[in-house]
């Protein structure tokens, strides 16, 4: 990438999507699972793009730069932008709650900084392509960047951290997400800990004080300032739950009451995580309070919607794993009305798939849910643990036929499953 500095004045925007190349000056060809970006090189050049980076010599020309790997070239450019602009970088990872924590933190920071000072991960753009694409949008006005770091395999957090070089690293929790690629939660914790060992600019670690893996995560770190969050009073940032909608947040310097618009104890933890990060940035309590109270439920994440027949639908169809499934059950259990739980299979659980689906059945049974409806191969095991008002279906259409028979104005219907189950299709039929 020796040419990149000479191109700096000619390149104002970068894309990896040939369909949007007209809006950019530089196209980077990425080889993915389903397509080879090199094959679109001539097309984007003909459409007016100035330059292209390719990894296949067959597509090399006067207006291209040949590299060994397009994805690495993207990462190198992103790293160059980050080092050139020198913003304060906050990196967030964890098994659950990454995106929610990021959204709360961004809401807080948006009330503290000018609009053009803050850059953040869009959606859950958190992998080895999404993170660099965020960083290449850095401009000289940006003073702070909030990045979400996801992983499917060991070593990914390390690689993302080397690109981002965060000053503040936050781990939300350690759960079972993607456990089929790690064999155990211990290995997941080890992989998440890569956040603290791959940035020479890291100053502060933020950890969940009441997580089972706290001691492990806190051990053998660099000489970092540590801030913790959680329900325990031992946490730097903790809280007292006053009622369903209000909590008192405690920092070492102050306390303040906050109205919350997100359902579930786990979302309170996400809020506390964002508070811990805000505290690390020296953001005043009144700004933190305002940012939290502006947050509304996100689409597909415990989103409350008016349903058929006067029912209430809680759309939690975005994704699912054993931890988030239990959190959703807890939310439904706390509601007043006829409780109807609709679930689909949980994915990426490896050899323990049956075990986790069985444990879910045991958990639902203790929660005293009025009706449980399930679809998917593995939820059959879940249903076997329930002794009443539990129904398994081979298709969503058959599930819906049963659901429509039991809906009434007192019904509270929570819908959840992993992405491949497309449980949003059920939601769309009852709202």
266: its two tokens:
């786990």
User: Cβ–Cβ contacts within 10 Å for residue 120, how many?
Assistant: 21
Residues of the chain with pLDDT under 50: 1-5
For residue 169, which of 204, 122, 134 has the smallest C-alpha distance?
Answer: 204
Residues in a beta bridge with 302: none
First to last CA, the chain: 52
Domain with CATH 3.40.1390.10 in the chain: 4-68
Residue 285 backbone phi and psi in degrees, to 5: -60, -40
Instruction: Report the alpha-carbon distance of residue 120 to residue 126 in Å, rounded.
Output: 11
Write down the pLDDT at residue 125. 82
Predicted local confidence at residue 18, as pLDDT: 81
pLDDT at 21: 60
Q: What is the pLDDT of residue 361?
A: 97
Output the CA–CA distances (angstroms, integers) from residue 376 to 346, 368, 398, 421, in the order listed.
9, 22, 12, 8
When the candidates are 3.40.1390.10, 3.30.1600.10, 3.40.50.300, 1.10.10.410, the CATH number that belongs to 4-68 is 3.40.1390.10
pLDDT score, position 316 = 96
User: 415: which 2 tokens?
Assistant: 């819908």
Q: Each residue of 137-181: pLDDT tens digit?
A: 999 999 999 999 999 899 999 999 999 999 999 999 998 888 888
For the beta carbon of residue 140, count every other beta carbon within 10 angstroms.
10
Q: List, for residues 409-430, the tens digit of each pLDDT value.
A: 999 999 999 999 999 999 999 9
Half-sphere exposure of 229 (CA within 13 A, CB side): 24
Q: Give pairs for 383-390: CB < 8 Å, separation 24+.
A: 384/358, 385/358, 385/360, 385/361, 386/361
User: How many Å apart are CA 418 and CA 431, to the nearest integer?
Assistant: 20
Class of domain 74-293: alpha beta
Instruction: Give per-residue burial for 394-415: e unless 16+ CB within 10 Å, then b.
Output: eebeebbeebeebbeeebbbbb
Check: CB of residue 166 under 8 Å from CB of residue 206: no
Are the C-beta atoms of 311 and 335 separated by less than 8 Å? no
Query: Cα(83)–Cα(251) distance, rounded to whole angstroms?
Result: 32
Helix axes 98-110, 285-293, angle to 10 degrees: 120
Q: What pLDDT does 297 receive?
A: 86
Write the CATH number of the domain with boundaries 303-429. 3.90.190.20
Note the residue count of the chain. 431
CA dist list (Å): 85 to 141, 144, 217: 9, 10, 30
- pLDDT number for residue 90: 98
Per-residue confidence (pLDDT) for residue 312, from 0 to 100: 96
Read off the tokens for 52. Answer: 């292209």
Measured between alpha carbons, how far is 315 from 104 in angstroms, rounded to an integer? 19
- Taking the C-alpha atoms of residue 149 and residue 131, their distance in angstroms, rounded to an integer, is 7
| Nearest one of 256, 181, 176 to 418, comparing CA atoms | 176
Predicted pLDDT at 170: 98
Neighbours of 48 (CB within 10 A): 10
From the list 179, 189, 135, the residue with the least C-alpha distance to 161 is: 135
């Amino acid at each position: 990438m020796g040419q990149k500095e000479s191109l700096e004045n000619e390149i104002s925007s970068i894309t990896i999507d040939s369909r949007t190349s007209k809006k950019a000056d530089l196209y980077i060809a990425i080889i993915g699972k389903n397509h080879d970006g090199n094959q679109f090189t001539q097309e984007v050049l003909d459409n007016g793009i100035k330059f292209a980076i390719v990894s296949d010599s067959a597509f090399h020309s006067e207006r291209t730069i040949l590299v060994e790997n397009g994805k690495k070239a993207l990462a190198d450019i992103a790293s160059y932008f980050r080092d050139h602009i020198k913003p304060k970088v906050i990196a967030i990872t964890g098994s659950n709650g990454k995106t929610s924590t990021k959204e709360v933190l961004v809401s807080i920071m948006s009330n503290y900084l000018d609009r053009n000072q803050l850059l953040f991960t869009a959606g859950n753009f958190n992998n080895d392509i999404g993170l660099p694409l965020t960083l290449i949008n850095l401009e000289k006005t940006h003073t702070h960047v909030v990045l979400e770091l996801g992983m499917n395999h060991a070593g990914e957090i390390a690689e993302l951290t080397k690109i981002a070089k965060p000053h503040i690293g936050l781990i939300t929790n350690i759960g079972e997400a993607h456990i089929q690629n790690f064999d155990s939660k211990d290995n997941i914790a080890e992989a998440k800990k890569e956040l603290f060992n791959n940035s020479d600019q890291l100053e502060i670690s933020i950890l969940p004080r009441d997580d089972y893996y706290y001691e492990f995560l806190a051990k053998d770190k660099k000489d970092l300032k540590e801030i913790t969050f959680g329900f325990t009073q031992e946490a730097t940032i903790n809280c007292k739950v006053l009622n369903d909608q209000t909590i008192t947040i405690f920092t070492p310097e102050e306390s303040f009451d906050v109205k919350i618009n997100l359902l579930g104890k786990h979302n309170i933890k996400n809020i506390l995580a964002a508070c811990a990060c805000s505290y690390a940035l020296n953001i005043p309590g009144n700004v933190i309070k305002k940012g939290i109270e502006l947050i509304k439920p996100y689409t597909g994440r415990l989103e409350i919607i008016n349903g058929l027949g006067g029912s209430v639908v809680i759309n939690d169809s975005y994704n699912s794993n054993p931890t988030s499934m239990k959190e959703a059950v807890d939310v439904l259990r706390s509601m007043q009305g006829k409780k109807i739980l609709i679930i689909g299979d949980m994915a990426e659980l490896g050899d323990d798939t049956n075990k986790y689906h069985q444990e879910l059945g045991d958990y639902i049974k203790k929660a005293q849910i009025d009706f449980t409806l399930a679809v998917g191969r593995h939820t059959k095991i879940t249903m076997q643990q329930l002794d009443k008002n539990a129904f398994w279906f081979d298709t969503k259409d058959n599930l819906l036929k049963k659901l429509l028979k039991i809906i009434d104005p007192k019904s509270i219907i929570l819908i959840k499953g992993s992405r491949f189950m497309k449980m949003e299709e059920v939601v769309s039929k009852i709202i």
